[in-house]
Amino acid sequence: MRIDENRSLSDGEIRTLSFVEIFEPLTEDELAKIDWRKLSTKVRAGETFYTPLDLCETLFILLKGRVRVFRKSALGKEFTLNVFGDGTVFGEMALTAQSFRNSYAQALEDSEIAAMCRADVERLILDKPAVGLQLVHLLSERIVQYERRLEDIGLKEVPARLAGILLLLLESDGIRDREAYKLIGRYTHYQLATMIGANREAVTRAFRVLREAGALEIDRRTIQIKDLDALREIAA
């Protein structure tokens, strides 16, 4: 990842950080005083900017864009752990016994990312314990999500898994208009397949099942949820 150590955060970026869950206890002035030495000026779409070869323990803050965090099996098969959007943090597993070091992070679109090393995070928590509590809550929520997804992979058929992951994405990446709920990001069948432990062909067949049930439509690669109750029923 290209680092610009001389660039400071703009007022707009500081304001974005103030809306990040774990930084809510901090004022904008307190955020501005943090030494943001590791700041990526640009991460291009498709660029993998973190790999298992990176040994640093880092908390990433996504200022702008979308990022996919995934792992690879010994045979090279990918499994997507999460997809993050503006104003979210990731890499928190590196700060605990839950390792982030076996993971990859890839920008799905042009993105800007700030980063804090473990020592800086620990100093911040000692100075502002409320930040530590927020981080614990975030970890707990994500562990629960991962456990649910693992349970789905082991117990559910592909259409139910696909419906479940679409509901999860809708919480963080969805908007509502007069006609339907829509996912802001555009997800390929392959990307969704890596989220639910399936192959691309199985996801294509599962989308057909969801369309026939009236749960969704796809318009110009945008997923539109037409019947939320039907999608929930299939997921269950």
What percent of the chain has a predicted confidence (pLDDT) above 70?
89
Residue 133 neighbours by CB under 8 Å, 6+ apart: none
pLDDT of the residue at 15: 81
Of 86-95, 129-138, 216-225, least confident by mean pLDDT is: 86-95
pLDDT of 20 strictly over 90: no
On whether the CB atoms of residues 33 and 56 are closer than 8 A, the answer is: no
pLDDT band at 35 (very low <50, low <70, confident <90, very high): low
Amino acid symbol at 150: L
pLDDT of 199 strictly over 60: yes
pLDDT of 63 strictly over 60: yes
The DSSP H or E segment spanning 27 is none
Chain centroid offset of residue 149 CA? 14
pLDDT of 113 strictly over 80: yes
On whether the CB atoms of residues 224 and 217 are closer than 8 A, the answer is: yes
pLDDT of 1 strictly over 60: no
Domains of the chain: 11-153 (2.60.120.10), 157-235 (1.10.10.10)
Report the pLDDT averaged over residues 92-118: 76
Q: 77 or 13, which is more confident? A: 77
* Rounded (5°) CA angle 115-119-123: 105
Residue linked to tokens 């990859």: 104
pLDDT of 191 strictly over 70: yes
Half-sphere exposure of 79 (CA within 13 A, CB side): 15
Chain centroid offset of residue 196 CA? 15
With 0.85 as the threshold, say if the pTM is over it: no
What percent of the chain has a predicted confidence (pLDDT) above 90?
23
On whether the CB atoms of residues 110 and 45 are closer than 8 A, the answer is: yes
pLDDT of 149 strictly over 70: yes
Residue linked to tokens 């955060």: 9
The CA distance from 88 to 59, in Å, is 11
pLDDT band at 95 (very low <50, low <70, confident <90, very high): low
pLDDT band at 40 (very low <50, low <70, confident <90, very high): low
Residue 59 neighbours by CB under 8 Å, 6+ apart: 89, 91, 92, 94, 95, 115, 116, 117, 118, 121
Report the pLDDT averaged over residues 140-163: 86
Chain centroid offset of residue 128 CA? 25
Condensed to tens digits (0 to 9), the pLDDT of residues 202-230 reads 999 999 999 999 998 888 778 888 889 89
Quote the tokens at residue 2: 């290209």
On whether the CB atoms of residues 8 and 49 are closer than 8 A, the answer is: no
pLDDT of the residue at 9: 66
- How many residues does the structure list for the chain? 236
On whether the CB atoms of residues 94 and 52 are closer than 8 A, the answer is: no
